[in-house]
Structure 1
Amino acid sequence: MSQLQDPIRDGLQRGWKVLGGALGPAPAKIVCDVAIVGSGAGAGVTAELLAKAGLSVVMVEEGPLKSSSDFNQKESEAYPQLYQESAARKTEDKAINILQGRCVGGSTTVNWTSSFRTPAATLKYWQDEFGLADYNVKALAPYFAQAEKRLNILPWLTAPNENNDLLRRGAAKLNIQAAAISRNVKGCWNLGSCGLGCPTNAKQSMLVTTIPAALDLGAQLLTEMQVERFELANGKVTALYCKNVMPNGAPAQTERGQTATKIIAKHYVLAGGAINSPAVLLRSGAPDPHGWLGARTFLHPVVMSSAVFSQKVEAWNGAPQTIYTDHFLNTQAIDGPIGYKLEAPPLHPVIFASTVPGMGQSQRDLLKTFPNNHTLLALLRDGFHEQSRGGQVRLRGDGSAVLAYPLTDYVMDGARRALLSMMEIQFAAGALQVLPLHEMAQSYTTWPQARDAVNALPMKPMLTKMVSAHVMGGCGLAGQEKLGVTRPDGVHWQLENLSIHDGSIFPTSIGANPQLSVYGTANRLAQGLVSKLTGRAVALA
């Protein structure tokens, strides 16, 4: 793998304008047409389109610039280098662990490539509840199609690995429909280490697609630079202030003593991801007349069930997520009892050991089953019910962001039903024993035993293991100012030269892995922004 071409190192040698960290300090002041906060899904798409239109663009990324030469499939290096808080970011009460990228390319660099268009039921709810008439399947379709072509998003035609096929086989035994997941890959080696950075550049993340394209067109990238705040005056952003940080996010100081950079732009795009984007606006004292800033932040809370099979599963091998079922979404009214999507995640030693319950001998016994272990996860579709209003992004005393997310009885009822569904599928697939990830659960050897036990478990935060890799909301879109933070065209309701182009603008959760929803939506919003700023028409190609 070390002999593979590294497009990032090649670009740097060609003279890309990249500063920060080992690449050199940024100047004290930068003037440009558009400043973009972040470098993930929304930022990358936006940067390519703006640069293609001839605008001078500066991207600001808090994390480091890493590339395929750095991706060695080691968890011990990937988590501290590529994730927020070393893959240990948590909600305020520590009840939910949150995986978010923190590197150039953002979460697109470390996600598992699962790609779904925004479900029609989700869009219909946005139209009805948030006045987003133009957010419908027909209007968004061409923007999704462009993103899919640009990022090679196609159904995964290779046979699923055993980890995913167990979901397919178990569901089939119960007459539950399962289907293949589309993936944004090209020439994939089927290694299974997508979450640790792709060492072959097969994953078509922003790191190897839109960001290189923007840099080739003259855009600038500042890495290891944390955005502190916007300067605001008269309903506009007048400047952006950012500071040097270490690769781990700690404050840094350059040899010259310069630690801060001021960026003055005609227009600003906030695309730091849900949690970080609302936090920037909160630190900036942004107007929030209706109290929506940071509110309605959603997580697709995830519960999991771990099973042991007689055969080797080796869930770290092969494409990580290729089979899913929406049976438990489609059989629930969108505003009824919470529905959930089932998928089979990859397993790696550190993430497995830190997720399963137990300690001492019981954990040792469980870890010994690792090669034969199969885990299912359920993404709970939050945000569509009065008792599922999401969380609130807040600032700690030092200005850092934290998400308070209440796990209501409504959500926990869905967690119990999801555990039951996953266990039944695993037993149907031939599991020898199944362990729902709950501190008071044990390994069960029959479906009736497991069903009765889980029905009796107290479904409480901290006892029920909860994780998330999908943060959405906090700067929600709305057709009326009183219903959200962001206008339908992506512009902040009260700040005329600030757009928001990331998952924070979703008024609910998506109900599916959200990366393609961000790509498609940002594509549409960025094309509109280009037209507004230049009068030109550009598109992803």
Structure 2
Amino acid sequence: MSQIRDPIREGLTRGWQVLGGALGTVPEKVVCDVAIVGSGAGAGITAELLAKAGLKVVMIEEGPLKSSTDFHQKESEAYPQLYQESAARKTEDKAINILQGRCVGGSTTVNWTSSFRTPGPTLQFWQENFGLADYSVEALAPYFAQAEKRLNILPWLTPPNENNDLLRRGAAKLGIQAATISRNVKGCWNIGSCGLGCPTNAKQSMLVTTIPAALDLGAQLLTETRVESFELANGKVTALHCRSVMPNGAPALAGRAQSATKVVAKHYVLAGGAINSPGVLLRSGAPDPHGLLGARTFLHPVVMSSAVFAQKVEAWNGAPQTIYSDHFLATQAIDGPIGYKLEAPPLHPIIFASTVPGMGQSQQELLKTFPNNHTLLALLRDGFHSESRGGKVKLRGDGSAVLDYPLTGYVMDGARRALLSMMEIQFAAGARQVLPLHEMAQPYTSWVQARDALNALPMKPMLTKVVSAHVMGGCGLAGQEKLGVIRPDGVHWQLENLSIHDGSIFPTSIGANPQLSIYGTVNRLAQGLARRLTGLDVALA
């Protein structure tokens, strides 16, 4: 794909201020107006807006700077280069595998482009339970609209691939409504390798939109640089301390680069993502008078059902997620039994083989069906019930952050219902066999057989396969200090020059893929921050 421009390499040639790793030694001390920890959805939006306001901005990213030239559609390259813990980050008990980005652009560089505004029922719950009176559909709408225009978020008009159309057809036969997903793409080639980094720069991630815009305005980017902790005094952050790391996150080799860096700023924005952002604050000994830091960290726990069809599905080919169903959210009271959103994920060999159950001959037989395989996933909407309090970010002995996430009976009841729903849809779409991803399950050849078998299976962690690509909460927004870590304007309740602008600010899970929720909410917070720091009104363009 040599004919495709690489805007990152072009920017580096123009003289962008980017240091770290092979791009140059990071100095011992950096001074700026605003230091932004991270480079994902919240960091990118914030960096562009603050740079537009004329502030000297420095972004600090633990992962490497990779671009379209480096994206070869190979899982063996993408996972270790672009994901936290080589796409194998897990909860403390190893019961849930978590996909999170660890590169410039963060998870926006590797996500599947699904874009939903924060659902109205979620915002209403926040208003009623967390004192967020101004977090309404109407109040956020203009900020969502700006983000959607800036990132080309539009309904996907190309016909869905077979993988997604099976969800549409199966749901239609059962009278279940399904709809088209909006995507943040421009000139998409419909290749299907979004999760491995977009080789054509069609995905409008932070990597090719807000971060280049900020760098063109004079912002600085430090890559392969891990933020260890904040230095705190008298209710303020006085500095942050960083350390150089290798592209895979290991400590930098002696002599390869400056090992330690101190960044001094007037204001600090923490946007390292849920798990990492609470981790930085915990390592810093940040004030936490109400014991809320790292608590109420939410996933969308995901369960999956794998089906085999007579025809080729080729779930790796074409736009990855373009059809969804909210039927099992809309028909479920938000504070009742857990509801779930249905989507059809793409399949690639390593992710498929490492997710499906079994070993030896049984797994070999399943892997043979790969071209004809179709998988549905259910995003469980956690955080709205007294029995769904999510998890807690803690520190390991070495200071690294880990998420403790108990899978309660309440959540696992939802997992059982979601698996039943997905299997029924797959059989309605014409599946020859269906396998719910559970270690004790077998391939089933009829809906009645599958239903009866699943109802008899124990829904327990480690037996039921649970994954997630969405981490939220741990530094929650609230209108009162006793209810959250940060104020409604994004500023830390106890640290006056620290804002948090990422998915960790959500008081519950979103109930939908969260990237647009981060874009819209942080757009509002960052505009307010720019106004307070400079007196200027800036907006995404």
1:51-66 matches, within 5 Å, as: 51-66=51-66
Amino acid corresponding to residue 267 of structure 1 in structure 2: H
Amino acid corresponding to residue 109 of structure 2 in structure 1: T
Q: 2:366 aligns to what? A: 366
Q: 2:441 aligns to what? A: 441
1:31-46 matches, within 5 Å, as: 31-46=31-46
Q: 2:259 aligns to what? A: 259
- SS of equivalent residue, structure 1 residue 354: helix
Q: 2:397 aligns to what? A: 397
- SS of equivalent residue, structure 2 residue 27: coil
- SS of equivalent residue, structure 1 residue 111: coil
Name the CA distance, whole Å, in 2 between partners of 1:74 and 1:271: 28
Name the CA distance, whole Å, in 2 between partners of 1:256 and 1:484: 41
Pair 1:523 & 2:527 matched: no
- SS of equivalent residue, structure 1 residue 76: helix
Name the CA distance, whole Å, in 1 between partners of 2:76 and 2:346: 17
1:345-360 matches, within 5 Å, as: 345-360=345-360
Name the CA distance, whole Å, in 1 between partners of 2:495 and 2:520: 24
Name the CA distance, whole Å, in 1 between partners of 2:519 and 2:301: 22
Q: 1:141 aligns to what? A: 141
Amino acid corresponding to residue 172 of structure 1 in structure 2: A
Amino acid corresponding to residue 51 of structure 2 in structure 1: A
1:193-232 matches, within 5 Å, as: 193-232=193-232
Q: 1:514 aligns to what? A: 514
Name the CA distance, whole Å, in 2 between partners of 1:64 and 1:445: 46
Contact 2:25 2:257 in 1 (8 A): no
Name the CA distance, whole Å, in 2 between partners of 1:158 and 1:539: 31
Contact 1:294 1:392 in 2 (8 A): yes
Name the CA distance, whole Å, in 1 between partners of 2:66 and 2:458: 43
Q: 2:94 aligns to what? A: 94
1:467-486 matches, within 5 Å, as: 467-486=467-486
> How many Å apart are 1:254 and its aligned residue?
5.5
Pair 1:287 & 2:287 matched: yes
What whole-Å deviation, never above 9, does each CA across 1:61-88 have from its counterpart, x for those lacking one? 0000000000000000000000000000
Q: Which runs of 5+ in 2 are unaligned?
A: none
Name the CA distance, whole Å, in 1 between partners of 2:395 and 2:47: 28
Name the CA distance, whole Å, in 2 between partners of 1:263 and 1:80: 28
Name the CA distance, whole Å, in 2 between partners of 1:474 and 1:123: 17
- SS of equivalent residue, structure 1 residue 125: helix
- SS of equivalent residue, structure 1 residue 524: helix
Amino acid corresponding to residue 298 of structure 1 in structure 2: F
What whole-Å deviation, never above 9, does each CA across 1:129-171 have from its counterpart, x for those lacking one? 0000000000000000000000000000000000000000000
State percent identity of aligned pairs: 88
- SS of equivalent residue, structure 1 residue 69: helix
Name the CA distance, whole Å, in 2 between partners of 1:254 and 1:296: 39
Name the CA distance, whole Å, in 1 between partners of 2:27 and 2:457: 57
Q: 1:503 aligns to what? A: 503
Name the CA distance, whole Å, in 2 between partners of 1:162 and 1:199: 23
> How many Å apart are 1:256 and its aligned residue?
7.0
Name the CA distance, whole Å, in 2 between partners of 1:442 and 1:351: 20
Amino acid corresponding to residue 27 of structure 1 in structure 2: P
- SS of equivalent residue, structure 1 residue 186: coil
> How many Å apart are 1:373 and its aligned residue?
0.1
Name the CA distance, whole Å, in 2 between partners of 1:105 and 1:2: 22
> How many Å apart are 1:181 and its aligned residue?
0.1
1:58-457 matches, within 5 Å, as: 58-253=58-253, 255=255, 258-457=258-457
Name the CA distance, whole Å, in 1 between partners of 2:287 and 2:44: 27
Amino acid corresponding to residue 206 of structure 1 in structure 2: M
Q: Which runs of 5+ in 1 are unaligned?
A: none
- SS of equivalent residue, structure 2 residue 69: coil
Aligned residues: 541
Normalising by structure 2, we get a TM-score of: 1.00
> How many Å apart are 1:253 and its aligned residue?
3.8
> How many Å apart are 1:317 and its aligned residue?
0.3
Amino acid corresponding to residue 179 of structure 2 in structure 1: A
Name the CA distance, whole Å, in 1 between partners of 2:498 and 2:454: 48
Name the CA distance, whole Å, in 2 between partners of 1:313 and 1:257: 47
Name the CA distance, whole Å, in 2 between partners of 1:522 and 1:137: 15
> How many Å apart are 1:326 and its aligned residue?
0.1
> How many Å apart are 1:3 and its aligned residue?
2.4
Name the CA distance, whole Å, in 1 between partners of 2:420 and 2:499: 42
Where does structure 1 differ by over 3 angstroms across 4 or more consecutive aligned residues?
Answer: none
What whole-Å deviation, never above 9, does each CA across 1:176-222 have from its counterpart, x for those lacking one? 00000000000000000000000000000000000000000000000
- SS of equivalent residue, structure 1 residue 516: helix
Name the CA distance, whole Å, in 2 between partners of 1:15 and 1:234: 38
Name the CA distance, whole Å, in 2 between partners of 1:424 and 1:129: 36
Name the CA distance, whole Å, in 2 between partners of 1:369 and 1:9: 40
* Stretch deviating more after TM superposition (253-262 or 452-461): 253-262
Q: 2:17 aligns to what? A: 17
> How many Å apart are 1:255 and its aligned residue?
2.8
Contact 1:81 1:248 in 2 (8 A): yes
Contact 1:25 1:254 in 2 (8 A): no
Amino acid corresponding to residue 304 of structure 2 in structure 1: M
> How many Å apart are 1:258 and its aligned residue?
2.6
Pair 1:539 & 2:526 matched: no
Question: Root-mean-square deviation (CA), in Å?
Answer: 0.6
- SS of equivalent residue, structure 1 residue 93: coil
Name the CA distance, whole Å, in 1 between partners of 2:258 and 2:102: 23
Contact 2:8 2:212 in 1 (8 A): yes
Name the CA distance, whole Å, in 2 between partners of 1:382 and 1:219: 37
- SS of equivalent residue, structure 2 residue 488: coil
